[in-house]
């Protein structure tokens, strides 16, 4: 009774049974750049999660004799005087010399003095996630009284590496939290707007346009200037995320509305209505699953925007403020010409921003391409 | 025209396709869309390539000019253009192998449109919406010949006149959106004819058009061919069109040519079993199903169960924000009176835009109706008016009146398994337990002829015909009484159409159903329906017994519609008198 099967197409493939998520995964796996992006992003979040262990020092411990200490190279093979060698990472110590006339400090290597490093050695004590007391660091000096600076030190002699690692936590999480808040707003308002249409749609879209038309930087400035100065760093952190997401939800709301409008006229949605489904079931059971992939893609593209926003706010001195550490706060230190010429390593957090944003964008692109596995079926 | 006559008689081969193969590279390995195809095109003759969807006929035609979209590529064979045998030839031997030319080279660009021209299926998308018709046709001339703008414009006017576009002086400065589908296809043909091509490749040029317009376009192609001695490669899936226009036929299946021959020979004496089956399914469709007639003997048609009483639907009549008045709008359905009796199949036929789909949706109250009543008599004999009901009140009527949609691809949610799709109405109804629903779905799958293994699969694993079976299973899940099938077979190949229609008849016998079948295809209606309603511009112009209407149509529009339907028999070609109907405005 059924038609003959085309001999050129083999039909019994596992893809026939594959769900949407598996098809997305098949498509995503082929996207090399996006896979690289995933690895890097995961690495960043890992660093953020275990910042205390991975950082060699407390980010706030200053050292007056190490002001603007330049970066040091790690040597892995240690040669003895009598040509024997052993494995033992070390850095060559640097001594500060102050020019008596210009008062400028210069650091010179003293090759005889080696500072040995060790994995998971005991260092400054800390509390992991503020609860678990620990004192071992991933990589630190064998002698707790010595210090090393892989990417240099800032104007108070604080280790830039430790500070950048701690900054990862705040900067990467502000993206996630901010986006999840704007996602909530965007989904609800965009969904209502797209499903019901008519006047509600009209009203919500005008609000979206209003928010989009506001120039972002002055709005951020205004809102954060309104924050009381005596708020604790953590309250301030949440206030900033709310401010960021209040501006960022519009984009998501538009994406969601567009998809709703497109799907509302699909036959399968009409079929669901005729099956007797109430609007809530139509939305959540029939329309939403088709949206999820697109939403994930736009979320992964919204996170870097958040990160950039936080960085620029903090850079202007209106976002987070010390003692909170974020990439933006760290970059604020690199605002003047003197640092540029004398201590270019203070830009290290900028590189972190770059890499994180690029990786997230690649990830988002890959997700967006993979999000509709059915679109590529024809090829 | 002595050379023309000579050519026609001599059967001059102008284009020769030898062992052409085209592959599509996919992740499952190469897929041969065209497999070792050899064909010959003769001057002044039409070669029809017939085949069902996916048989590779379109890809084959695109391979000739090397315009296959990547990942497809031509991987073997020769396409020889014997230029010296055409009017353009200089007398000396000149044969070009088109496949040897670089697809991006100017050598092949010179041939495209000048020696070999192409027209496509979709008149809506093959013209640029932002350029005037005249400019688009004129560009084809100016690309290949050195003429001034003024000259090109004059030639364009002549071309538009040739393809019978009314008022060419005005049309030349119009934009495509001001043209109807048929007019656009005429403009496309004008563009293709701009340089007097030796070969015209027409890829389903009439598939997207209504039958009456299709008949006109076919006439046009034929008359132009007669004039200019063009060789035409005509690709179609419609045996009726083939019988109307072909001199020779090539039947394609799974990328291979299974049979070639003279049109009369193939229609009368098909050799390959596939050709036989194809012709049988076409012929079967052109008369009433014996199954249905036998069924009516046993169980006569009962009382009316769904009546549309003066239904009127106006689109776009928006209430303004402040005033409550209704203004303007498009009248899609105009005072339609129609009744469906229990155990009967009612067909609604009409051209695109005639309002037949809208009427179907109004009957089910998917759309609100502007005025009128929809009287539904339910199983307990109670008469309900669906027109003023809210969505909540409609829940039960919607379980009794179900739909089978036209597009088997968009009507199934790609994110749900077949099991989930079919069980959805049962879950929402909430009468059965989980395991009972599961059992019922297996029962339904068997009823529509799908394997039980389909339960866990997703729609993308199924072909169009199988998906339509899923759609039918979903429709009959809550034990309905009426099914509205909106062009349920239009997206399917001919051989599948009878299968699906037979399945519906089968279900009618078992489940005591009544059907409304909406279609533009008279043959399908004739096979399936007891009574027919003909719609034209939102009005029902004629209703009656299917056979009666089909043999002795009363309304002029019905006459013109029936006379335009191509008959799958080359012997009657040109014998039928075509009636044209234009409503007095």
Q: What is the 3-state secondary structure (H, E, C) of B236-270?
A: ECCHHHHHHHCCEEEEEECCEEEEEEEHHHHHHCC
Minimum distance, in Å, between the CA of residue A23 and any CA atom of chain B: 11
Contact A268 B496 (CB under 8 A): no
Which A residues 283-312 touch B at CB under 8 Å?
Answer: 286, 289-290
Task: Say if residue B163 is in the same domain as residue B204.
Answer: no
Q: What percent of chain A has pLDDT over 90?
A: 0
Q: Do the domain assignments include residue B585?
A: no
Per-residue pLDDT tens digits for A276-314: 888 888 888 888 877 877 777 777 777 787 777 777 777
Residue B254: closest CA among chain A residues belongs to which residue?
Answer: A6
Is residue B431 a contact partner of residue B489, using CB atoms and an 8 Å limit? no
Taking any CB pair shorter than 8 Å as contact, residues of chain B touching chain A are: 24, 26, 28, 31-32, 35, 54, 71, 254-255, 364, 366, 391, 395, 398-399, 402-403, 405-407, 410-416, 424-425, 428-429, 449, 456-458, 460-461, 463, 465-466, 474, 495-496, 499
* Domain stops at, among B196, B216, B234: B196
Angle between helices B464-476 and B418-429 (to 10 degrees): 10
Give the model's confidence band at B348: pLDDT under 50 very low, under 70 low, under 90 confident, else very high: very high
Q: Identify any residues that bridge with A109 across adjacent strands, giving them in sequence order.
A: A94
Mean pLDDT score, B550-572: 85
**Does the pLDDT value for residue A94 go beyond 70?**
yes
Query: Which residues of chain A does B463 touch, with a Cβ-Cβ cutoff of 8 Å?
Result: 3
Task: Say if residue B150 is in the same domain as residue B245.
Answer: no
A-interface mutation test, from B403, B412, B414, B456, most A Cβ less than 10 A away: B414
Q: What is the mean pLDDT of chain B?
A: 83
Mean pLDDT score, B29-36: 81
At residue B3, the pLDDT reads: 47
Mean pLDDT score, B218-239: 86
Q: Do the domain assignments include residue B502?
A: yes
Query: Which residues of chain B does A267 touch, with a Cβ-Cβ cutoff of 8 Å?
Result: 405-407, 410-411
Task: Say if residue B266 is in the same domain as residue B358.
Answer: no
Minimum distance, in Å, between the CA of residue A284 and any CA atom of chain B: 12
At residue B28, the pLDDT reads: 66
At residue A10, the pLDDT reads: 43
Q: Identify any residues that bridge with B235 across adjacent strands, giving them in sequence order.
A: B49, B203
Which A residues 11-70 touch B at CB under 8 Å?
Answer: 11, 13, 15-20
DSSP 8-state assignment for residue B49: E
Task: Say if residue B346 is in the same domain as residue B311.
Answer: yes
Query: Which residues of chain B does A290 touch, with a Cβ-Cβ cutoff of 8 Å?
Result: 413-415
Minimum distance, in Å, between the CA of residue B423 and any CA atom of chain A: 10
Number of domains in chain B: 3
At residue A378, the pLDDT reads: 38
Would an 8 Å CB–CB cutoff place A1 in contact with chain B?
yes
Per-residue pLDDT tens digits for A246-273: 777 888 888 888 888 888 888 888 888 8
| CA gap B58, B276 in Å, rounded | 22
| CA gap A344, B253 in Å, rounded | 70
**Domain residues for B547?**
290-317+327-566
Per-residue pLDDT tens digits for B190-214: 888 888 888 889 888 887 778 888 8
Task: Say if residue B56 is in the same domain as residue B70.
Answer: yes
Task: Say if residue B374 is in the same domain as residue B267.
Answer: no
Mean pLDDT score, B333-362: 87
Order of strands, edge to edge, in the sheet holding B248-253? B116-119, B199-203, B231-236, B46-50, B248-253, B256-262
Residue B320: closest CA among chain A residues belongs to which residue?
Answer: A199
Task: Say if residue B363 is in the same domain as residue B388.
Answer: yes
Task: Say if residue B295 is in the same domain as residue B414.
Answer: yes
Q: Do the domain assignments include residue B50?
A: yes
Q: Do the domain assignments include residue B78?
A: yes
Q: What percent of chain A has pLDDT over 70?
A: 90
Per-residue pLDDT tens digits for A2-33: 345 554 444 445 555 666 677 777 777 777 88
At residue B347, the pLDDT reads: 92
Per-residue pLDDT tens digits for B115-129: 888 888 777 778 888
* Domain stops at, among B144, B174, B196: B196
| CA gap B271, B256 in Å, rounded | 15
Per-residue pLDDT tens digits for A127-154: 777 777 777 777 777 776 777 777 777 7
Using DSSP, state whether A301 is helix, strand or coil.
Answer: helix
At residue A18, the pLDDT reads: 62
Residue A265: closest CA among chain B residues belongs to which residue?
Answer: B410
Minimum distance, in Å, between the CA of residue B471 and any CA atom of chain A: 9
Q: Which of A2, A8, A273 sits opposite B255 (nearest CB)?
A: A8
Q: What percent of chain B has pLDDT over 70?
A: 92
Q: What are the structural domain ranges in chain A?
A: 34-49+164-376, 63-157
| CA gap B442, B436 in Å, rounded | 10
Q: Do the domain assignments include residue B581?
A: no
Task: Say if residue B40 is in the same domain as residue B158.
Answer: no
Contact A8 B463 (CB under 8 A): no
Task: Say if residue B407 is in the same domain as residue B279.
Answer: no
Domain A34-49+164-376: give its CATH superfamily.
MetI-like (1.10.3720.10)
* Domain stops at, among B154, B178, B196: B196
Task: Say if residue B204 is in the same domain as residue B249.
Answer: yes
Contact A16 B460 (CB under 8 A): yes
Query: What's the Cα-to-Cα distance from B76 to each of B37, B160, B496, rounded to whole Å?
Result: 10, 39, 32
| CA gap A308, A216 in Å, rounded | 12
Residue A27: closest CA among chain B residues belongs to which residue?
Answer: B27
Is residue A115 a contact partner of residue A146, using CB atoms and an 8 Å limit? yes
At residue A340, the pLDDT reads: 73
CATH number at residue B89: 3.40.50.300
Report the predicted TM-score, pTM, of the whole model to 2 decimal places: 0.74
Q: Centre a 10 Å sphere on the Cβ of residue A300 and count the other Cβ atoms it contains.
A: 24
ipTM value: 0.74
Task: Say if residue B276 is in the same domain as residue B295.
Answer: no
Contact B254 A8 (CB under 8 A): yes
At residue B532, the pLDDT reads: 92
């Amino acid at each position: 009774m059924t038609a003959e099967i085309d001999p050129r197409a083999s039909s019994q493939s596992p893809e026939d049974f594959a769900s949407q998520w598996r098809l997305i995964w098949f498509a995503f796996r082929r996207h090399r750049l996006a896979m690289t992006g995933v690895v890097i992003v995961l690495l960043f979040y890992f660093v953020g999660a275990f910042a205390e262990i991975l950082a060699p020092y407390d980010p706030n411990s200053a050292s007056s004799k190490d002001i603007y200490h330049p970066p040091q190279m790690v040597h892995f093979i240690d040669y003895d005087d009598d040509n024997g060698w052993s494995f033992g990472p070390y850095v060559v110590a640097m001594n500060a010399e102050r020019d008596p006339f210009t008062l400028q400090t210069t650091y010179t290597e003293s090759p005889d003095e080696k500072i040995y490093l060790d994995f998971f050695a005991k260092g400054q004590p800390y509390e992991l996630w503020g609860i678990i007391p620990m004192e071992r660091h991933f990589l630190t000096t064998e002698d707790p009284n010595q210090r090393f600076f892989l990417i240099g030190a800032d104007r108070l002699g604080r280790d830039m590496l430790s500070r950048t690692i701690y900054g990862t936590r705040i900067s990467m999480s502000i993206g996630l939290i901010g986006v999840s808040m704007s996602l909530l707003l965007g989904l609800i308002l965009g969904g209502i707007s797209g499903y019901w249409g008519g006047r509600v749609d009209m009203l919500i879209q005008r609000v979206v346009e209003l928010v989009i038309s506001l120039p972002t930087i002055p709005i951020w400035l205004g809102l954060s200037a309104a924050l009381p100065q005596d708020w604790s760093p953590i309250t301030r952190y949440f206030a900033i995320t709310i401010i960021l997401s209040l501006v960022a939800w519009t984009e998501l709301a538009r994406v969601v509305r567009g998809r709703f409008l497109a799907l509302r006229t699909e036959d399968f949605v009409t079929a669901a209505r005729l099956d007797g489904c109430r609007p809530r079931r139509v939305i959540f059971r029939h329309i939403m699953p088709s949206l999820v992939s697109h939403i994930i893609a736009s979320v992964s593209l919204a996170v870097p925007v958040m990160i950039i926003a936080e960085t620029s706010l903090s850079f202007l001195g209106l976002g987070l403020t010390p003692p909170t550490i974020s990439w933006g706060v760290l970059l604020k230190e690199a605002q003047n010409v003197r640092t540029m010429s004398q201590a270019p390593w203070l830009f290290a957090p900028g590189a972190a921003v770059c890499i994180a944003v690029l990786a997230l964008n690649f990830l988002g692109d890959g997700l967006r391409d993979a999000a509709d596995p059915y679109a590529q079926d024809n090829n | 025209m002595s050379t023309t006559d000579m050519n026609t008689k001599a059967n001059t081969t102008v284009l020769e396709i030898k062992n052409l193969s085209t592959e599509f590279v996919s992740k499952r390995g190469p897929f041969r869309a065209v497999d070792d195809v050899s064909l010959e095109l003769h001057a002044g003759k039409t070669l029809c390539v017939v085949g069902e969807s996916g048989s590779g006929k379109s890809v084959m035609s695109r391979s000739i000019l090397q315009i296959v979209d990547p990942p497809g590529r031509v991987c073997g064979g020769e396409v020889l253009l014997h230029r010296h045998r055409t009017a353009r030839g200089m007398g000396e031997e000149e044969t070009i192998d088109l496949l040897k030319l670089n697809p991006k080279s100017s050598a092949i660009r010179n041939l495209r449109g000048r020696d070999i021209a192409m027209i496509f299926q979709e008149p809506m998308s093959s013209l640029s919406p932002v350029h005037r018709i005249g400019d688009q046709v004129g560009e084809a001339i100016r690309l290949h010949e050195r003429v001034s703008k003024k000259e090109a414009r004059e030639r364009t006017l002549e071309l538009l006149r040739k393809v019978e576009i009314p008022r060419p002086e005005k049309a030349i400065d119009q934009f495509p959106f001001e043209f109807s589908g048929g007019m656009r296809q005429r403009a496309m043909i004008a563009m293709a004819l701009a340089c007097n091509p030796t070969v015209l490749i027409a890829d389903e040029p009439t598939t997207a058009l209504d039958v009456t317009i299709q008949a006109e376009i076919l006439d046009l192609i034929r008359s132009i061919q007669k004039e200019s001695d063009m060789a035409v490669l005509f690709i179609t899936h419609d045996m009726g069109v083939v019988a109307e226009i072909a001199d020779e036929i090539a039947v394609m299946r799974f990328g291979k040519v299974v049979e070639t021959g003279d049109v009369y020979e193939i229609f009368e004496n098909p050799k390959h079993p596939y050709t036989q089956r194809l012709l049988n399914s076409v012929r079967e469709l052109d008369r009433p199903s014996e199954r249905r007639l036998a069924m009516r003997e046993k169980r006569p048609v009962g009382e009316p169960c769904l009546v549309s009483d003066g239904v009127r639907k106006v689109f776009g009549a928006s209430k303004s924000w402040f005033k409550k008045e209704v203004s303007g709008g498009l009248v899609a359905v105009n005072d339609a009176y129609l009744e469906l009796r229990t155990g009967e199949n009612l067909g609604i036929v009409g051209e695109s835009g005639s309002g037949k789909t809208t009427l179907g949706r109004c009957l089910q109250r998917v759309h609100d109706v502007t005025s009128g009543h929809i009287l539904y008599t339910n199983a307990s004999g109670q008469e309900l008016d669906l027109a003023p009901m809210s969505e909540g009140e409609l829940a039960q009527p919607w379980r009794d009146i179900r739909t089978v949609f036209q597009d088997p691809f968009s009507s199934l949610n790609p994110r749900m398994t077949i099991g989930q799709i079919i069980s959805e109405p049962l879950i929402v109804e909430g009468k059965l337990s989980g395991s009972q629903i599961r059992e019922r779905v297996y029962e339904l799958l068997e009823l529509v002829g799908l394997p039980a293994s389909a339960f866990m699969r997703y729609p993308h694993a199924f072909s169009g015909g199988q998906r339509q079976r899923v759609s039918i299973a979903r429709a009959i899940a809550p034990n309905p009484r009426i099914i509205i099938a909106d062009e349920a077979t239009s997206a399917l190949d001919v051989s599948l159409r009878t299968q699906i229609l037979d399945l519906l008849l089968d279900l009618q016998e078992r489940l005591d159903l009544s059907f409304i079948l909406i279609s533009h295809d008279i043959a399908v209606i004739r096979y399936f329906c007891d009574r027919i309603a003909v719609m034209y511009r939102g009005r029902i112009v004629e209703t009656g017994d299917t056979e009666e209407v089909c043999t002795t149509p009363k309304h002029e529009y019905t006459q013109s519609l029936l006379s335009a339907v191509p008959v799958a028999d080359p012997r009657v070609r040109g014998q039928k008198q075509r009636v044209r109907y234009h409503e007095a405005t």
